[in-house]
Chain A
Amino acid sequence: MEIAVCVKPVPDPETRLRPGPDQRTLDVEGVKFVLAGYDESAVEQALLLRDQLPGSTVRALAYGPAPRTPEVLRSCLALGCDSVTHLEASAPVDDPMAVAAALAHVLASRPADLVLVGKQALDDEEGLVAPALGALLERPSFSSVTDLRWNPERSRFTFQRSTDTEIERWEAPVPLVIGLQQAWNDPRTAKLPNILKARRQPIDTVPAATIEAAVAGRNGRSLPLKFELPAPRAGARMIDYSTPAEAAERLVRLLREEAKVFP
Chain B
Amino acid sequence: MTPGLVVIGELRDGRPTEASREAAGVAYQLAAGAPVTGLLFGSPEDSLTSSWARDGISEVCFLPPPTDAARQAGALIPGVLSVLSERSAELVLLPSTTFGRELAGGLAARWDAGAATGVTAIHRGAAGWEVRRPVFGGRATETRSLSGPRAVVALRPRAFPAPEPRDLPGASTQRSMPEVGAVAKGPTLVGTEPVLTGEGPALGDATIVVAGGRGVRSADQFHLIEELAAALDAAVGASRAVTDAGWRPTSLQVGQTGRTVTPQLYIAVGISGAIQHIVGMIGSRVIVAINSDASAPIFKVADYGIVGDLFQIVPALLAEIRRVRGR
Contacts and interface: CB of A to CB of B under 8 A. Distances in A.
A233 B73 CA distance: 39
B115 interface: yes
A259 to B, nearest CB: 5
B186 interface: yes
A210 interface: no
A133 B101 CA distance: 13
Given A17-B136, A218-B112, A251 B317 contact: yes
B16 interface: no
B145 A128 contact: no
Nearest to B311: A244
B123 interface: no
Interface string A165-186: 1111111110010000001000
Contact of A126 (B118, B147, B288, B319): B118
A172 B232 contact: no
Interface string A58-101: 00000000000000000000000000000000000001110011
A97 to B, nearest CB: 6
Contacts of B317: 247-248, 251-252
A140 B188 CA distance: 11
B287 to A, nearest CB: 8
B187 interface: yes
Contact of B77 (A135, A173, A248): A135
A221 B114 CA distance: 5
Given A131-B105, A162-B251, A237-B304, A171 B299 contact: no
Chain A contact residues (Cβ within 8 angstroms of B): what range?
35 or more
A236 B74 contact: no
A261 interface: yes
A109 interface: no
Interface residues of B, number: 99
Contacts of A172: 186-188
Given A17-B139, A228-B140, A131 B106 contact: yes
Contacts of B188: 170-172
A140 B187 contact: yes
B250 interface: yes
Interface string A228-263: 111001011111010111011101101110010111
Contacts of A17: 136, 139-140
Contacts of A129: 105
Interface stretch (B21-29, B32-40, B166-174, B203-211): B203-211
A220 interface: yes
A101 B112 CA distance: 10
Interface stretch (A43-51, A141-149, A201-209): A141-149
A171 B303 contact: no
Interface of A: 17, 25-26, 95-97, 100-101, 122-136, 139-144, 158, 161-173, 176, 183, 218-230, 233, 235-239, 241, 243-245, 247-249, 251-252, 254-256, 259, 261-263
Given A163-B195, A164-B99, A218-B112, 4 more contacts: A222-B115, A223-B147, A244-B308, A244-B313
29 contacts: A124-B142, A125-B137, A127-B117, A128-B104, A134-B74, A134-B105, A135-B77, A141-B74, A162-B195, A163-B195, A164-B202, A164-B204, A164-B205, A168-B189, A170-B190, A221-B147, A223-B145, A224-B143, A225-B125, A226-B143, A228-B142, A228-B143, A238-B299, A244-B313, A245-B316, A247-B317, A249-B320, A255-B304, A263-B207
